[in-house]
Amino acid sequence: MSKAIIEHSVASETFNKDEPYVNWHDETLWFVRQKRDKSSKLLPEWEHLREAASGIKNYVLSHMDELLTAFEENAKQNGVHVHWAADAAEHNEIVLGLLKQHNIDKMVKSKSMLTEECHMNEFLSRNGIDVIDTDLGERIVQLRNEPPSHIVLPAIHLKKKDIGDLFHEHLGTEAGATDPQYLTEAARQHLRDKFLTRRAALTGVNFAIAETGGFVVSTNEGNADMGAHLADIHIACMGFEKIIPKQEHLGVFLRLLARSATGQPITTYSSHFKKPREGQEMHIIIVDNGRSTQLGRADFRNSLKCIRCGACMNTCPVYRRSGGHSYHNAVAGPIGSILAPNLDMTKNADLPFASTLCGSCSNVCPVKIDIHDQLYKWRQVLVKGGHVPQAKEIGIKAMSIVLSQPRFYQWSGRLGRSVMRTIPFMVNNSMNPWYKQREMPEPPKESFRDWYVRNRKE
């Protein structure tokens, strides 16, 4: 049974009750953003790489059918079984069918945001399949029975003490242990048996190459390799937007991906898969799940250029101070807020409003997606479609009236400043959402326009 959706504003208000924790979360993610900045500045050609990646992805969006057909043909020639899934339900059924066909009830899985999007773990669990996430961060949140809060750093919302307590409960580590090396070794020993005894392994796909029919999986832990190389059946799941035209294009994306994500020059493992080893089966599931619809939206198709680096999350002031779980979607942050409404406008209507529209997300995006512009356009679509609460709709219409009439706007500003000076409790109260988490500023004596007009005369 699906959990009730808690709107971002409500969930983030709960998140912000612990101010020291929020400050820590904010600073931790900003540290990752700073690493990205330092790493990117070491490459004089950084902006050229971004432009090249954006151009390649634009080509992909315009030739998607040709590239996918070529990939399927080449993959089949390599001995790989190719499956197509129209939506999440079909994807999950294909995975379950493959496991049942081989009488497998246990599987290891490396990181795959697509399977999070499809809620695959829960589906397989209901059907008697034991799925073990082998990425350390993913395993941590799996043991906590919660989704990842970040697409690259799944457990970034947890401190060392949280993980120490979790491992003490589930893995039998010493009580109070917080040493990262000790906890990591405990996880390694815990997972080793899983790798050796599971006959099926599932991985995501970072890039699929139409020219060769091969695909690349990027990890820092080597868990994808361990699972895929030891298993009798390797299942790789990809959204169809992961396709790129040629092998030579990989150099562009691999140089951008890790630097944008964590500030590394390249991921520790960039594993190339092309065909199954002798005696092994390899399956690729290509998933739509709303992507065709998004591809057909002129204002939003560029969101499919995303390479899932998480840079927009690390820089976003709203994400950093509200946490990934406030977004009630597999992909959180700015990029998730422009992808989610495509899947369900009513359910995800709040997410495009969880932004200041500052543009920092677009500035750091390695493939130059116009994220903040799409957030603004989604707001227009959602309001016009009646997908926002009536109170918000009335407020937006009221502001539209005020902002479209200069004299009324000027008068409203003077009235507002007067009210804040003479009867501040009209603004400084719990009915004002802005007052809940911050101190209201002192009202200025005059507006910038009044100051400008007066100084021009002088």
Three-class DSSP category at 287:
strand
The pLDDT of residue 3: 67
pLDDT in tens, 175-197: 999 999 999 999 999 999 999 99
Cβ(303)–Cβ(249) under 8 Å?
no
Residue 457 banded pLDDT, cuts 50, 70, 90: low
pLDDT in tens, 54-77: 999 999 999 999 999 999 999 999
Of 282, 419, 312, nearest in space to 32 by CA: 312
Residue 150 banded pLDDT, cuts 50, 70, 90: very high
Give the residue, 399 or 364, on which the prediction is more confident. 364
pLDDT in tens, 330-375: 999 999 999 999 999 999 999 999 999 999 999 999 999 999 999 9
Cβ(306)–Cβ(370) under 8 Å?
no
Residue 2 banded pLDDT, cuts 50, 70, 90: low
Place of tokens 């992805």: 57
Q: What's the rounded mean pLDDT across residues 277-281?
A: 95
pLDDT in tens, 9-54: 999 999 999 999 999 999 999 999 999 999 999 999 999 999 999 9
The pLDDT of residue 1: 41
| Amino acid in position 417 | R
